[in-house]
Amino acid sequence: MSEQTLYEKLGGEEAIAKVVDYFYSELVLKDPTVQHFFENTDMEKQRQHQTKFISFALGGPNQYSGTSMAKAHEGMNIQPEHFNAIAKHLGNALAHFGVQERDIEQALAKVASLKDDILYK
């Protein structure tokens, strides 16, 4: 029997959408160090993109059709402290929904692999 993907463990796209909603509404948009990055963002569209992206990153189907990470973050000049705050919020959102620590670490390792495409753009 093959091991479940994180996507399957978490409950698929519907469960990930709940994590993403909590991530933005309760953590990111209340954090003064990163909330300004989303001031002119269509948050419904952002949530949909992020749900599909995180679903794919965690082993789900590739339904993400947005721009590349580098292109999506162009002109934002995201610094390491911003990236780390977002990663911390994602970890906290996953923990809020009862995801095990080792699975959170695996998810954050996937996110960390994108760091070079996000920072200083």
What's the domain range around 37? 11-118
- Determine, yes or no, domain membership for 25: yes
pLDDT of residue 47: 95
pLDDT single digits (tens) 6-42: 899 889 999 999 999 999 999 999 999 999 999 999 9
- What CATH number is given to the structural domain containing 30? 1.10.490.10
pTM given for the model? 0.89
**What is the Cα–Cα distance from 24 to 20, expressed in whole angstroms?**
6
Other Cβ atoms closer than 10 A to 37: 15
- Determine, yes or no, domain membership for 84: yes
- Determine, yes or no, domain membership for 1: no
Binding region for heme:
49, 73
Binding region:
49, 73
- Determine, yes or no, domain membership for 5: no
Q: Quote the number of domains for the chain.
A: 1
- Determine, yes or no, domain membership for 27: yes
